[in-house]
C-alpha cells in the first residue's frame, strides 16, 4: 500500500480550501473531516481484476481516459468486487461534466434533477457516469438544502477529493482508478471493509439529516453484506428515524423495493423494526403487528418474507405487490370487518377498506397503479375462496390473479388467518380433472336432503296448517 499525505498530482491547497469552505458553508464547524492520509492500494495489493469488470464499464472508463478525463469505478461495484461478489451494476465517476460525457458517447442520455448523471446505454446494460461532486457552497444555487438540512439539489461539480466526502459510507467511497488499476482510499474505507464495519463519512447526525434515506441504506448494506453498523451510526438512526417521513414517497417506494426484493427481506424487516424505521415506512402494518392476536398477524408478514427470500434463493421471482398486499392485509381486513358490522356487504366493505388503507400508505411510499391494482385483486379474491359450490370456483380458477390469490390464501391458512381445510380444498381442486372438479363443486347430498326435507316439511306444515285450519 502506498501511504502518502498528498499525492503529487493533487495539490494540498485545494483540499484544505475545500475543508475550509465545507466548514464555513455547513455552519456546523465542529467534527468536520480533517485532511487525512490518502491510501493508494496498488494492483498487487487488492483483489480486483479487470476480468470481473463488465466489458461495457471498461469501455466507458478507457474512452474517458483516452479523451483526457479522469475515470474511476466507485461505490457498490468496488465494494462488492473487493468482497468477491458480483456487482449489481457498475458506477463510473469522472471529472468530465455531464455535457462533456455526452459528447464522448453517442449512446448517452442525461438524467436526474437532484443529481444530474449521464447514462451510457449498451443494449440492456446501462453504465451510470457521474461527475465528481463538489463541496457545499452557500453562494451556489446549484446546491439547495431545505429548512431541515435536507439536500434538494446537488449539482456542484468538483474534484475527487471533494467527491469523496459527499458519499455515504466509507466502504462505498473507494475508487478504482483505470489509469493504474489501483484503489484510492481517502476515508480509511479499506480498513472498515476488512473489519466489516459500516461507517458514515463525516458527522453522522448531519449526514442523516442531509439525506435520511442513508438510514435505510445502512440497514440494507448491513444485512446484505453481513456488516455491523458503527455504534455512532446506530444511535443516530434511533434518533433520526422520523426524518424519513420528509422524503418524497416515490423515492421511498424505490428504496422499499431494494430493501425487500433482494433476498434478505426477513432480516431487513427485523432490523428496520429494531431501529424504528419500519413504523415510519409502514405505520398501519406496525400497528397491526403490535395488536397481534395469538401471534397470527405477525406470522403472516414473517412467513411471507421468509417465502420470498426462499424463492429468490431458488432463483424464482418475487413481486412487489404481493409483499405490499401482505403488509397491509391485516389493516384492510380489520377495517372491512368494521364496515361489515355497520351493514356494508362484504364485497363493498373490502373494496372501501382497500381504498382507504392504500390512500394512507401512499402518503409514505408511493404505490404505482399497477401495484395497487394487483394488491386490490389479491385481497378481493380472498372472500371468494369461501365459495366452493356451483360455477364460481371454476370462474375463480380462470381469474388472471388466481395464483397469487391462492398463494395468499395458503399463507393465511399457514398462519391461522384462514381454515387450512379451505386451502387444501383449493389445492385439490386445481389439480383435479374436469369431472372431479364438477363433483367437488356439486352441492353436498346432505344439503340436497336438507333442501328437499325443508320443502317437504314446509308442505307438511302447510298441510298440517290447512288441516288445523280445516279443523277450526
How far is 74 from 60, CA to CA, in rounded Å? 13
Q: Are strands 143-145 and 2-4 parallel, antiparallel or unpaired?
A: unpaired
Binding to ligand ATP by CB under 6 A, coded x per residue (else -) over 384-403, reads --------------------
Cα separation, 148 vs 168, in Å, equals 18
**Rg of the chain's alpha carbons, rounded to an integer?**
30
Site membership for ligand ATP, residue 168 (CB under 6 A) = yes
Which CB sits closer to ligand ATP, 172 or 351?
Answer: 172
The question of whether 284 is a catalytic residue gets the answer: no
Shortest reach from residue 62's CB to ligand ATP, in Å:
21
Residue 173 interacts with ligand ATP (CB under 6 A)?
Answer: yes
The interface mask with ligand ATP, positions 79-118, x = CB under 6 A, is ---------xx-x---------------------------
Rama region for 330: left / alpha / beta (φ>0; ψ in -120 to 50; rest): alpha
Task: Give me the residues that bind Mg ion (CB under 5 A), please.
Answer: 76, 89
Which one is catalytic: 80, 154, 168, 284? 168
- Closest to 175 measured CA to CA, from 158, 162, 160, 159: 160
Is 82 in contact with 189 (CB distance < 8 Å)? no
* Binding partner of residue 173 among ligand ATP, Mg ion, none, CB cut-off 5 to 8 Å per kind: ligand ATP
Residues in the interface with ligand ATP (CB under 6 A) total: 12
Q: Identify which of residues 89 and 356 has a Cβ nearer to ligand ATP in the complex.
A: 89
Q: Do residues 243 and 209 make contact, with C-beta atoms less than 8 angstroms apart?
A: yes
Among 48, 76, 282, 328, binds ligand ATP (CB under 6 A): 76
Closest residue to bound ligand ATP by CB: 76
User: Residue 163 touches which of ligand ATP, Mg ion, none (CB < 5 to 8 A by kind)?
Assistant: none
Strands, E assignment, 136-259: 143-145, 151-154, 174-177, 182-185, 197-198, 228-229
Using the rule CB under 6 A, give the single segment among 38-46, 168-176, 270-278, 322-330 that binds ligand ATP: 168-176
Q: Which of 75, 189, 393, 417 binds ligand ATP (CB under 6 A)?
A: 75
26 counts as binding ligand ATP under rule CB under 6 A: no
Q: Is 170 in the site for ligand ATP (CB under 6 A)?
A: no
Contact flag: residue 214 with ligand ATP (CB under 6 A):
yes
Contact flag: residue 158 with ligand ATP (CB under 6 A): no
d(CA 156, CA 140): 8
Q: Is residue 168 annotated as part of the catalytic site, yes or no?
A: yes
Of residues 145 and 213, the one with the C-beta less far from ligand ATP:
213
In Å, the largest CA–CA distance within the chain is 122
Q: Which of residues 273-312 bind ligand ATP (CB under 6 A)?
A: none
The two beta strands, 151-154 and 143-145, are antiparallel
211 binds, among ligand ATP, Mg ion, none (CB under 5 to 8 A by kind): ligand ATP
Round to whole Å and give the CA distance between 377 and 372.
9
Q: Which is nearer to ligand ATP, 213 or 422 (CB)?
A: 213
In the complex with Mg ion, which residue's Cβ is closer, 76 or 189?
76
206 contributes a contact to ligand ATP by CB under 6 A:
no
Distance (Å, rounded) from C-alpha 170 to C-alpha 199?
6
The b-or-e profile of 77-94 (16+ CB within 10 A means b, else e) is: bbbbbbbeeebeebbbbb
Q: Are 129 and 121 a contacting pair, CB within 8 Å?
A: no
Give yes or no for residue 172 binding ligand ATP (CB under 6 A): yes
Which residues make beta-bridge pairs with 175?
Answer: 74, 184
Alpha carbon separation from 349 to 194, 266, 289, 394 (Å, rounded) = 55, 31, 22, 24
Of 91, 154, 163, 192, catalytic = 91
| Residue 221 neighbours by CB distance under 10 Å | 19
Residue corresponding to grid cell 432480516:
267
- Contact residues: ligand ATP, CB under 6 A: 75-76, 88-89, 91, 167-168, 172-173, 211, 213-214
Catalytic residue numbers, as ranges: 89, 91, 168
Amino acid at each position: 500500500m502506498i501511504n502518502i499525505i498528498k499525492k503529487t498530482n493533487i495539490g494540498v491547497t485545494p483540499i484544505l480550501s475545500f475543508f475550509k469552505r465545507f466548514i464555513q458553508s455547513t455552519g456546523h464547524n465542529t467534527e468536520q473531516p480533517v485532511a487525512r492520509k490518502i491510501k493508494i492500494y496498488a494492483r498487487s495489493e487488492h483483489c480486483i481484476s479487470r476480468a470481473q469488470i463488465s466489458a461495457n464499464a471498461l469501455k466507458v472508463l478507457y474512452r474517458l481516459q483516452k479523451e483526457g478525463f479522469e475515470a474511476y469505478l466507485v461505490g457498490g461495484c468496488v465494494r462488492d468486487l473487493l468482497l468477491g461478489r458480483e456487482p449489481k451494476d457498475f458506477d463510473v465517476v469522472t471529472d468530465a461534466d455531464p455535457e462533456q460525457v455526452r459528447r464522448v458517447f453517442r449512446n448517452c442520455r442525461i438524467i436526474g434533477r437532484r443529481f444530474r448523471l449521464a447514462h451510457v446505454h449498451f443494449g440492456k446494460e446501462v453504465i451510470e457516469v457521474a461527475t465528481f461532486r463538489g463541496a457545499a457552497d452557500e453562494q451556489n444555487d446549484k446546491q439547495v438544502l431545505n429548512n431541515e438540512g435536507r439536500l434538494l439539489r446537488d449539482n456542484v461539480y468538483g474534484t475527487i477529493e471533494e467527491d469523496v466526502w459527499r458519499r455515504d459510507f466509507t466502504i462505498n467511497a473507494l475508487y478504482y482508478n483505470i489509469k493504474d488499476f489501483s484503489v484510492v482510499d481517502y476515508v480509511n474505507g479499506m480498513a472498515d471493509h476488512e473489519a466489516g464495519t459500516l461507517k458514515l463519512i463525516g458527522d453522522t447526525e448531519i449526514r442523516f439529516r442531509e439525506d435520511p434515506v442513508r438510514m435505510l441504506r445502512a440497514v440494507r448494506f448491513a444485512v446484505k453484506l453481513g456488516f455491523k453498523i458503527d455504534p455512532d451510526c446506530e444511535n443516530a438512526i434511533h434518533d433520526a428515524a422520523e426524518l424519513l417521513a420528509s422524503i418524497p414517497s416515490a423515492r421511498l417506494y424505490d428504496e422499499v423495493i431494494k430493501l425487500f426484493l433482494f433476498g434478505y427481506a426477513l432480516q431487513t424487516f427485523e432490523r428496520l423494526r429494531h431501529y424504528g424505521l419500519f413504523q415510519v415506512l409502514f405505520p398501519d402494518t406496525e400497528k397491526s403487528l403490535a395488536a397481534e392476536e395469538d401471534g397470527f398477524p405477525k406470522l403472516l408478514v414473517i412467513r411471507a418474507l421468509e417465502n420470498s427470500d426462499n424463492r429468490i434463493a431458488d432463483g424464482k421471482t418475487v413481486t412487489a405487490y404481493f409483499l405490499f398486499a401482505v403488509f397491509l392485509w391485516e389493516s384492510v381486513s380489520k377495517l372491512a370487518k368494521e364496515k361489515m358490522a355497520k351493514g356494508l356487504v362484504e364485497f363493498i366493505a373490502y373494496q372501501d377498506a382497500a381504498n382507504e388503507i392504500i390512500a394512507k400508505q401512499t402518503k409514505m411510499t408511493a404505490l404505482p397503479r399497477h401495484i395497487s391494482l394487483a394488491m386490490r385483486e389479491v385481497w378481493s379474491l380472498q372472500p371468494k375462496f369461501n365459495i366452493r359450490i356451483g360455477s364460481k370456483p371454476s370462474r375463480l380458477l380462470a381469474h388472471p390473479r388466481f395464483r397469487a390469490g391462492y398463494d395468499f390464501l395458503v399463507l393465511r391458512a399457514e398462519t391461522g388467518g384462514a381454515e387450512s381445510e379451505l386451502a387444501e380444498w383449493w389445492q385439490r381442486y386445481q389439480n383435479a380433472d374436469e369431472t372431479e372438479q364438477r363433483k367437488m363443486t356439486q352441492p353436498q347430498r346432505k344439503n340436497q336432503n336438507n333442501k328437499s326435507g325443508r320443502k317437504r316439511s314446509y308442505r307438511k306444515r302447510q298441510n298440517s296448517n290447512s288441516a288445523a285450519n280445516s279443523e277450526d
